[in-house]
Amino acid sequence: MSARSPGPDATRESEARAAGPRRLAIVTGASAGIGAVYAERLARDAYDLVLVARRRDRLEELAERLGRTHDRRVDVLAADLGSAEGVRAVEARIAAEPALELMVNNAGFGTTGLFAELDRDAEEEEVRLNVLALLRLTHAAVSVFKARGHGSVINVSSLAGFQPAPFNATYAATKAFVNSFTQAVSEELRGSGVRLQLLCPGFTRTEFQEVAGVSTERIPAFAWMTPEAVVEASLDALRKGELLVIPGGGNKLMGAVIRALPASLARRASAALLRRTLGGD
Ligand SMILES: NC(=O)c1ccc[n+]([C@@H]2O[C@H](COP(=O)([O-])OP(=O)(O)OC[C@H]3O[C@@H](n4cnc5c(N)ncnc54)[C@H](OP(=O)(O)O)[C@@H]3O)[C@@H](O)[C@H]2O)c1
């Protein structure tokens, strides 16, 4: 029989288990990128999980691996959050999980190009997912959390939500909604025991740019973060109860500059950046 001292992860898991009853997190957009990393990290932190996205095969693979590695209950809920039916399925799950402690509204996508030339249905779908699904799932979660006097919601927004973004007009507007909405609801919940976090990442290496049809060649290496570093910053801030989280020093600086600029200048700078990124000049 070999006796090995447990590593830091194993120690954290056993401490979390010893600390109290099981707790559960629901993560949307868990089949890729930032959402998959949330799932990984939360399983390590001894959360049971419900993983939500459209690609069931990817969710099942991740659930099987996390359940086995971390001895957690990891369920798959395949749902299209661009549809009313998909959102209702997750709302029902929120209401049916008494151990729910954390709701991560992460699923989202962006469209890029001249608004007048983009597909109208895709623009609408972007609003359905990034705004309406997030609004309904935040409502479903905070209403049960408020009655229990505890629970947290992380709403994944973007640095793009701080200013109008030509060539990303709809995406930036959806994230501006998330920024305003999350901060306002957080204030309403002050003293209730329920916490909201507004996470505003910058460029993060996931499938996002590919889905948005953006070439990443012209984005300088220093501008990128890994999804692991983004999730680490988010969960660290969650422990501290911080509302607004901009991961990374460069992104923090960028966020501060954007917010300090006059609106007309911010708009033009954003257009120039996007034009350059898209290879327009
Ligand atoms: N990557 C970046 O540079 C960046 C920067 C700032 C903010 N963000 C934000 O970070 C969040 C996560 O994006 P990511 O970078 O991780 O992108 P990603 O790798 O493309 O992952 C997006 C996730 O959303 C899910 N999703 C998309 N449409 C969905 C739908 N209709 N119903 C349910 N799930 C859906 C996808 O799963 P399925 O396709 O399987 O449904 C996938 O799991 C988004 O809200 C994004 O706006 C990203």
Q: What strands, in cross-sheet order, belong to the sheet with 194-199?
A: 74-78, 47-53, 23-28, 100-105, 151-156, 194-199, 244-245
pLDDT 10s digit of each residue in the chain, 281 long?
Answer: 333 334 445 445 555 454 567 999 999 999 999 999 999 999 999 999 999 999 999 999 999 999 999 999 999 999 999 999 999 999 999 999 999 999 999 999 999 999 999 999 999 999 999 999 999 999 999 999 999 999 999 999 999 999 999 999 999 999 999 999 999 999 999 999 999 999 999 999 999 988 888 888 888 888 999 999 999 999 999 999 999 999 999 999 999 998 899 889 888 888 888 887 776 55
Query: What are 94-129's pLDDT values in tens digits?
Result: 999 999 999 999 999 999 999 999 999 999 999 999
> Exactly one of 171, 177, 181, 208 is catalytic; which is it?
171
Domain boundaries of the chain, sorted by first residue? 19-278
* Ligand 1 centroid distance, CA of 145 (Å): 25
Give 1 Cα–ligand 1 centroid separation in angstroms. 45
Q: Among 208, 228, 234, which is best to mutate for testing ligand 1, by the most ligand atoms less than 8 A from CB?
A: 208
Ligand 1 binding pocket includes 33 (Cβ within 6 Å)? yes
CATH class of 19-278: alpha beta
- The answer for residues whose C-beta is within 8 angstroms of residue 52's C-beta and 6 or more apart is 26, 27, 28, 29, 30, 59, 77, 78, 79, 81, 90, 107
Q: Quick check: is 171 catalytic? A: yes
Q: Answer yes or no: is the C-beta of 234 below 6 A from any ligand 1 atom.
A: no
Tens digits of residue pLDDT in 146-169:
999 999 999 999 999 999 999 999
Cα-to-centroid distance, 68 and ligand 1 (Å)? 25
Report the C-alpha gap between 103 and 54 in whole angstroms: 18
